[in-house]
Amino acid sequence: MLIDRLSIIGVGLIGGSLARALRKQNACGHITGYGRSSEHLQEAVDLGVIDDFSLSMDSAVKVADLIVLATPLKTTEPLLKAMRPYLADHAVITDVGSAKGSVVEAAHATLDDFLPRFVPGHPIAGKEKSGVSASTADLFQSHRVILTPLPETSVSAINKVRQMWELCGAEVVQLGVKQHDEILAATSHLPHMLAYALVDCLAGMRERDEIFRFAAGGFADFTRIASSDPQMWHDICIANRAELLRSVEAFGKYLENIRFAIEKDDSETLLDIFSRAKETRDRFTQTRDHRNDSTE
């Protein structure tokens, strides 16, 4: 069995789905949940997602050989700090945060000689719905999980986390921390900001009722991600600020190119941009094949 005792810190959509997937694979002896709300944790027990739970960090982690931190990004540092005194010598810790620079900083600030057993991770999977009730055993199936190990991280710790995700059906890849944050800012964080800004903009228009009445499928697809969890996205914005700001600024220039071309009746530029974008998007769709990644 890959994991004797698994501890999930934060049993929501991601933590719950991970527990379900590992249980389905018989990869875990025992799963303990940790959180702030006994009501939510009891729901997870009732759903069969975890075996039991604890509201105290001490008993939640002291016998665990694998600990998965699956809480909003801003809680990473306080929770790592809180668990540090109780970690067993052989324990491995990983997380699921959508930005990695701030997580690595938090690990450096709190884990000291435990750093070699910490493996920063990010499953590229999610839904607009959150909470353990939305969790499913197949959430990570055919999705990518990015690990961004530190220079200090031990190979055995990386391998344990890699095997865990592979058992969930995920394809595991490694990237540098900065590279991860730059790529995710462009492909995930920036699109979320655009979707939020678009919905907010339309809601502020004079004809707002008619606008939402006539909004078509393109709009529905485009703004699906604006239904994501506001707190989680707040945390991502703060955690990945530098890279995200760079992406938003870059996007602003490309949008300005289009605006200017429309203003100037510049057919050549418009056709160039639209044709190039179509070609790129069509190529993306082809290479993506039957992969089935979702948000985050």
Tell me which residues in 269-288 interact with a copy of itself (CB under 8 A).
Answer: 270-271, 273-278, 280-285, 287-288
Identity of the residue, 88 or 273, whose beta carbon is nearer to a copy of itself in the bound complex: 273
* Residue 181 binds to a copy of itself (criterion: CB under 8 A): no
State the binding string over 227-266 for a copy of itself (x if CB under 8 A, else -): xxxxx-xx--xx--x--xx-xxxxxxxxx-xxx-xxx-x-
Minimum gap (Å) between residue 234 Cβ and a copy of itself: 5
Identity of the residue, 134 or 215, whose beta carbon is nearer to a copy of itself in the bound complex: 215
User: Contacts with a copy of itself in 122-161 (CB under 8 A)?
Assistant: 124-125, 144, 146
Minimum gap (Å) between residue 136 Cβ and a copy of itself: 15
Minimum gap (Å) between residue 147 Cβ and a copy of itself: 13
Return the exposure string of 245-271: e unless at least 16 CB atoms fall within 10 Å of the residue's CB, then b: eebeeeeeeeeeeeeebeeeeeeeeee
Minimum gap (Å) between residue 256 Cβ and a copy of itself: 8
* Residue 174 binds to a copy of itself (criterion: CB under 8 A): no
- In this structure, what token pair is assigned to residue 109? 């600030």
Residues forming a β-bridge with 119: 94
User: Contacts with a copy of itself in 196-215 (CB under 8 A)?
Assistant: 196-205, 207, 210-215
Task: Determine the Cα–Cα distance for residues 56 and 37; give it in Å rounded to an integer.
Answer: 11
Minimum gap (Å) between residue 259 Cβ and a copy of itself: 5
**Given the rule CB under 8 A, which of 38-46, 63-71, 105-113, 175-183 is the region that contacts a copy of itself?**
175-183
The count of residues interacting with a copy of itself (CB under 8 A) is 96
Minimum gap (Å) between residue 233 Cβ and a copy of itself: 5
DSSP letter for each residue of the chain: --EEEEEEES-SHHHHHHHHHHHHTT-EEEEEEE-S-HHHHHHHHHTTS-SEEESSHHHHHTT-SEEEE-S-GGGHHHHHHHHGGG--TT-EEEE--S-SHHHHHHHHHH-GGGGGGEE-EEE----S--SGGG--TTTTTT-EEEE---TT--HHHHHHHHHHHHHTTPEEEE--HHHHHHHHIIIIIHHHHHHHHHHHHHHTSTTHHHHHHH--HHHHHHHGGGGS-HHHHHHHHHHTHHHHHHHHHHHHHHHHHHHHHHHTT-HHHHHHHHHHHHHHHHHHHHHHTT------
Identity of the residue, 37 or 274, whose beta carbon is nearer to a copy of itself in the bound complex: 274
Identity of the residue, 58 or 207, whose beta carbon is nearer to a copy of itself in the bound complex: 207
Of the candidate residues 1, 220, 289, 290, the single one contacting a copy of itself (CB under 8 A): 220
With beta carbons less than 8 A apart as the criterion, state whether 113 and 84 touch. Answer: no
Identity of the residue, 136 or 156, whose beta carbon is nearer to a copy of itself in the bound complex: 136
**Given the rule CB under 8 A, which of 11-19, 86-94, 151-159, 195-203 is the region that contacts a copy of itself?**
195-203
Minimum gap (Å) between residue 237 Cβ and a copy of itself: 5
